[in-house]
Structure 1
């Protein structure tokens, strides 16, 4: 990142970015790139849940959360996010990948941030059509050995996203926080659009 741009970003409040998008829209891939570019923490709630699954004796329960067929309870997610945000590396800024996924989570998250004198800088919606997502996830399953990316699970995860997560976008849109990015572009084009969005925030 150019020094001048980094200094400009560092002279104001650290950026707090939320990624919202269906499974397979590139949240993880782009989140890692953005975090590296802007020197902020990439907070993946999917990764947090996978760590819980690997540490838990109740593998079946957490597997249903990590596969996306059942959303993890709000109180669990809020607890995980609050614990993660309390760590020192988040003070320089963060990008939230996979949270909030429900309206109640978004409202609780706002309450947490307000309590700590903080706020979201920008919500970035990664927009992708369903057919393109299904194709992308099936290809990913083959190349990366992702057993959770079965056609049945993909369809169910898209349904959960449409029903439970879309209201989150309406909530943030009412506060003029949402910018849409076409996630079906090539990876570099998506990244370039995201960088422009953050630089303008």
Structure 2
């Protein structure tokens, strides 16, 4: 009878830290940038659900609440910069939480490439946001009220699509193996080194 083995990685952090970090960024961003209590509750519920079930896509609903705080209030350079940062950070954390199982542990060094990409993209995005804030006149008045739900829908849909494409199929699913016997009844030749014998 085999006994279970556990691999301990020095300096690793528990996977729930990523989920809790996602919830903190979402709820904190909504409380700070969205002045409407209704969206606080929506963001809080989405943040809680994202911790329990990351694949529920609730994180991106909470991210939309942060973005709504920008489009429903007066324009401000610091608010725009903060929304760009928090939305991006929450998206990255939610993507990591999606892929990492609850009971696993992860070394911080594994996340460094993602952190570097975040910083590079932020440098570009913050520059573009600053230029647009200076060049584009304020969009006020009832004629632009449709921008709020449209912006939230586009943000949520684009984030969800990008996540699906980047992660691919569910890692828990494996393609069905091909039959070991050909239709004619003969067994195909085994690939060199494929049969190692015994149970794996």
Structure label with greater radius of gyration: 2
**Larger RCO, structure (CA 8 Å, separation 6 or more):** 1
| TM-score interval (norm. to shorter) | under 0.3
Task: Give the TM-score normalised by structure 2.
Answer: 0.27
Q: Please, what TM-score do these two structures have when normalized by structure 1? A: 0.27
